[in-house]
Amino acid sequence: MSPASIAGSDWRVAELDHLFVLCPASADLAAQALRRAGLQEGSPNDHPGQGTACRRFFLENAYIELLWVRDPQEAQSESTRPTRLWDRWSRLTRGACPFGIVLRPGDDAGEAGSPFPSWPYRPRYLPADMSIDFATGTSLEEPELIYLGFQRGGRARRSVQPTTHSLVSLEVGLPHFDARSPAARALEAQGLVSFRPAADYHAVLTLNSAVSNNTVDLRPGIPMILRR
């Protein structure tokens, strides 16, 4: 099974699109840590009406999104508040998990919908017929789980961005390991991501790179460890 895809009797085929990491405004320390580790920064993005902005580091088959709240009022608006982006970002020092695991349809997904029970979020920066599906039943003590049903051809989209690595596997350390939702446990059972007990939140990304073969701990700049 490809490390970037999942399939099961109750799941549609899906693959990892990106991992977001909530950061302080501008994400300067996190971006510096990723650049020092040899990753190349791509184009930034802004989310009108959602109150967030991001910086992005693209891999061959996924990307890392450094995300922060730029407008608290927009982030707490009636349309955006259910995403809990404001709740996570404002509680980063009070126990909220900083990560979001974002999936897209795999090559064999057909017309499949979200691989977990979800609700449709329709931000104003997307066409009216598109939605971002947020998993239901998850807590702030685990990653947000999101499905982008419209995001097909992700590899082609990223081909215009600078890349130097491919993502082989993703592991997330959780202080509240036993509090994982059914959606997170099912995702893990299908092999897209693994979770383990940890003293603090952090993500371990194993990369396929021709540069070196080592482990780089990027904390405290960003809660991430790179293996390559």
Summarize the confidence of residues 202-225 as an average pLDDT: 89
Q: Which residues pair with 19 in a beta bridge?
A: 64, 101
Query: CB-based contacts of 68: which residues, under 8 Å, 6+ apart?
Result: 22, 23, 24, 25, 26, 27, 52, 53, 54, 89
Predicted pLDDT of residue 3? 42
Model confidence pLDDT, tens digit, residues 57-104: 999 999 999 999 999 999 999 999 999 999 999 999 999 999 999 999
pLDDT of 156 > 60? The answer is: no
Predicted pLDDT of residue 129? 93
Q: What is the pTM of this model?
A: 0.91
Question: How far, in Å, are 41, 87, 150, 184 from residue 114 at the CA level?
Answer: 29, 23, 11, 14
- Nearest CA to 34 among 228, 221, 227? 221
| DSSP conformational letter for 191 | T
**Which domains are present in the chain?**
5-165 (3.10.180.10)
Summarize the confidence of residues 157-173 as an average pLDDT: 85
